[in-house]
Amino acid sequence: MIELLRVDHRLLHGQVAVAWFGALDVNTILVANDSVSGDDFRKSAIRLAKPDNAKLVMKSINDSIKAINSGVTDKYKMLVVVESVDDAQKLIDGTNNTIKGLNLGGTKPREGTKNYSKTINLTDDEVHTLKDLKNEGTDVYIQQVPSEKRQEFE
pLDDT in tens, 65-100: 999 999 999 999 999 999 999 999 999 999 987 898
For residue 64, the model assigns a pLDDT of 97
Could you give the domains of the chain? 2-152 (3.40.35.10)
Give the orientation angle of helix 124-135 with respect to helix 85-94, to 10 degrees: 30
The pLDDT-based confidence of 154 (bands split at 50, 70, 90) is confident
CA dihedral 66, 87, 133, 12 (to 10 degrees): 100
CB 19 within 8 Å of CB 8: no
Model pTM? 0.94
Query: What tens digit of pLDDT does each residue of 49-62 get?
Result: 898 899 999 999 99
Q: Is pLDDT at 151 greater than 80 in this prediction?
A: yes
Query: What tens digit of pLDDT does each residue of 110-148 get?
Result: 999 999 999 999 999 999 999 999 999 999 999 999 999
CA atoms of 20 and 27, how far apart (whole Å)? 11
